[in-house]
Amino acid sequence: MREILRWLFNLSGKELDEATAAMSKDTAKQRLKLVLIQDRLELAPEKLEDMKKEIWEVVSKYMVVDDDFMEFEVRRVDDLTVLVSNIEVKDLSDLTPAPTG
Amino acid sequence: MTGKTIVITSGKGGVGKTTATANIGTALAMRGNRVVVVDTDIGLRNLDVIMGLENRIVYDLVNVIEGVCKLNQAMISDKHDYELYLIPAAQTRDKNSIEPEQLREMCVELEKEFDYVLIDCPAGIEQGFKNATSAAQEAIIVTTPEVSAIRDADRIIGLLESSGLHNPKLIINRIAPEMVKRGDMMDQKDVESLLAVEVIGLVPADEQTVVAANRGIPVVHNAKSSAGGAFMRIAARVDGEDIPLMDLEPKNGLLSRFKGMVGMSGRAYSHA
């Protein structure tokens, strides 16, 4: 098949590789998506702070967690931008089912 | 009369802010509006040369702000039969020579006399950007379909938002239809999906834009040029006309030539 394409379009091997490779605009889009996520988060540190507070509030509804210790950051792992949070749990008792009757 | 002040900005330099300002300003004036364009790129003025008015400068923006001259003394009339004026930037001062409130006050004065006050914003996000944007009620962002320009445009959108300038409009400049067609350049949809702002115009890369700059005659004067047509359409939209954006199609592509031969849509370089 490849040979037929080459013959048909009179392409060198390199040209054929380029023609069948992913379109460069898709690479651009993919890279920009990630960069923009990071830029936008950096742009609004107060928003990041608000989110941190709200997440802490939600978690503390279900378990007793440390007031101070909370790691919270946006990090890039390979192709993904991830939100990493570590919260120290003090007491899990709220998670045990309430006794019935 | 109460006109409005629109800032034309981009973040990244060299994407066509000044060209856009000159052409939208000229086109708005051709449509019968009273228009003044203000170059706020203090120290790096260029709107005067793009409009071909560089030999007629006596006073500049900083002179007005400092009270050295009256506002109308710094306004250079474009040499055509419509109402278009330029207030040039100072070339020998820096961007800290004026304060945002001072520019705002000047624009309030101008809005009493003009339908449109267009501000050509300097590149960057420092003092000059703050000056230019604080004076405006609306913003137009110019970008090209390239990663660096789009990234900077996104940052500008965020900064405009936090300074209270909501719903900026986007111009995608220097689109090469051939490259878009073969997937080597982002198209309108790609850019829209990344930036989430309304596109007000698509301007094709056009040699005539360079020719126009060489001559100091904005490309909207060349009615047949694709870029000139695109800027006319942008001005119509700024002026409140609801006209659709069009697809930019390659001019002499094999396919469009073929379509032309068999009587299909052989539209050459339709522009938005």
Instruction: Look at A29 and B186 and tell me if their CB atoms are within 8 Å.
Output: yes
Provide the CATH number for the domain formed by B4-247 in this structure.
Answer: 3.40.50.300
Q: Which residues of B touch A32 (CB under 8 A)?
A: 147, 150-151, 194
- Interface A-B, measured as beta-carbon pairs within 8 A, has a size of 43
Three-state secondary-structure class, residue B126:
coil
What's the pLDDT tens digit per position in B9-37?
999 999 999 999 999 999 999 999 999 99
Comparison of pLDDT for A76 and B56, the residue scoring more: B56
Instruction: Look at B154 and A33 and tell me if their CB atoms are within 8 Å.
Output: no
Say whether pTM exceeds 0.80. no
Distance from CA of B81 to the nearest CA of A (A): 44
Comparison of pLDDT for B106 and A91, the residue scoring more: B106
Three-state secondary-structure class, residue B37:
strand
- Average pLDDT of the residues in A53-68: 85
Query: What pLDDT score does B248 carry?
Result: 79
Query: What pLDDT score does B262 carry?
Result: 45
Query: What pLDDT score does B196 carry?
Result: 86
CA distance B174 to B146: 10
Given pLDDT bands bounded at 50, 70 and 90, which one contains residue B192?
A: very high
Query: B184 at the A interface (CB within 8 A)?
Result: yes
Give the CA distances from residue A2 to residues A6, A15, B31, in Å, rounded to whole numbers and listed in that order.
6, 12, 57
Q: Sign (positive/negative) of CA torsion B96, A40, B120, B148?
A: positive
Residue B256 has pLDDT above 80, yes or no: no
- Average pLDDT of the residues in A31-41: 83
> Is the distance from CB of B35 to CB of B29 less than 8 angstroms?
yes
- Average pLDDT of the residues in A29-50: 79
Question: Which residues contact residue A65 at a Cβ distance below 8 angstroms, ignoring those fewer than 6 apart?
Answer: A56, A59, A87, A88, A89, A90
Instruction: Look at A32 and B184 and tell me if their CB atoms are within 8 Å.
Output: no
Query: What pLDDT score does B144 carry?
Result: 98
Distance from CA of B105 to the nearest CA of A (A): 29
- Average pLDDT of the residues in B145-151: 97
Residue B108 has pLDDT above 50, yes or no: yes
Task: State yes or no: ipTM above 0.85.
Answer: no
Burial class (CB in 10 A: 0-12, 13-18, 19+), B122: buried
Query: A46 at the B interface (CB within 8 A)?
Result: no
Query: B166 at the A interface (CB within 8 A)?
Result: no
In A, minimum Cα distance to B180 occurs at A25
Distance from CA of A28 to the nearest CA of B (A): 6
